Structure 1
């Protein structure tokens, strides 16, 4: 029985996708729910798995081709592969892998693509995958492995010699996600009246509170660690209640005021920046905020975030401080009208009641769309967050 393998159903905001990587090739046996192909969209990489045990018969859409929602991309033959045929096929494949490495054809498509990008000679690698297949991890490890002895790798002498001072260039196509990020950034720069206001906040009170209760907090909340993001998210929620324009969005000639706070949190991945959304944050505890953000970070790195989790949001927070940024001007995430930027905590001499003290200080930045938010509201919004972080009891008491 043959089954059509179709692309996933894309949300209305996603027009099409691109075949990123085929993890199985025609003729290969596939187990039920085993990953077959990755589909890259503007926002996320979607995985397509096998509907049953069987064999991938035919690939209709190759890597790099554009596909539509629910379009047929492959043909799948349901049913277990003959038991006697599997060992027979494995033997010559293993021999080919051991004798010739990847001399060209016994490597996964993703491994071939990565090898071309890194300039790795596949014929020098020994595969660790099924039936000796060279995997993407084998190619990645090749860059860090120690070079083999000349006697053990006679083909090494055939590698091209790079002349000292040679100017090497490599051209690779943008991924769909990177192109979409670029488009949105340009849309923001050209379509909004973006300004940024700055302030600095004394982090000593929050750091003292965190130091005092972090162990007890972790025990009481099943291993959830107490970080700084929970305080900033809850402070932002209270500030958004006081300044509804900062939580609003522009839709054509209308202003949409949101009666809830859905906060997008910027998460960096190898493929680009994603902004999953904490929904109804006004009803979440600090522990729930911290645990959800941690879960977002783990699944973002693994490419497991869903479209729904990255859609919406009424306000954004980004933390460049984790990478060492001292100050920046974050870019608004449309159709939102403001974004809060956090930065590194640095000890600096500050004047306190006529005395100079060394305090842990952080610069805060609020970028906002001046078409909707006046400078006065933007500054007062940022000061409200500063006041709550410098006196965390205000967050609990909503002062």
Structure 2
């Protein structure tokens, strides 16, 4: 388990960071209770906070467990989530939420809450992504759609086609043909960070990138070789406006729909990135903790580097543990400007 510095612990407390749960606990001198980092209670003053490596350590120091966040149960919850992930990873048919809850001795409501807090998606969404990855492998290996359907754990064509566009970004037959028949619209516009390409399917953004127009358009065709790719500035204007408003500091949430291709693991990382608050940063190790994979730091870094929708999935908010900027697919200078903007420094930097 990667160690949190004192400053990183305090920042996690301020952010109510569920990804830090189980890594440390904090006590509050004025109330005599100890909590987990994600406790929803009002944040205490820094001078009243002490940090502890376990519930036992906090209790030995004289603190009592917070009744609201139940910090003494965090370790058990983490183990329960890991066991549920294993059950879903290995199940031939998808268990119900009730069956999963009984397997770990939790109520369905509590399991749903702790699972989503640690993994970033619900058990149902997690199971659906596993089936999606199995389906992709089967289709790429030349299996018929019917054979791939059952190999992936779907019990009927109805369940396959009802969910496939959410997970594949297209129907199974379209995916098997390399995206043939799928329409992607794109536009290239000027932004405070240089030329910006924005591309989307009918379901959401599949690319936001920076660079030279010709290179970006060529890369889009390489990634979607059999899709119908065409310019569509008018259709994409709402997306462009939202991104430009974000760069001006008007739209910090940037809650835009996405339809980005990625593996199950990559999508977990991208979901976690979108939970990092505006104006804050995390290290790769912290991001790995957020998805419940503390030893997968290198894989997390790789997923960040492959993020196809810049800004909307804010991979620029990941820095090295020592505070150095680290790498960024679209250039260190752009990353520096984005972080300065979000931190409130150099407010005119992106509007010059």
* Normalised-by-shorter TM-score class: under 0.3
Higher strand share: 1
* TM-score (normalised: structure 1): 0.23
Larger Rg computed on CA atoms = 1
* TM-score (normalised: structure 2): 0.25
* Higher relative contact order, chain-length normalized (CA < 8 Å, sep 6+): 1
Higher helix share: 2
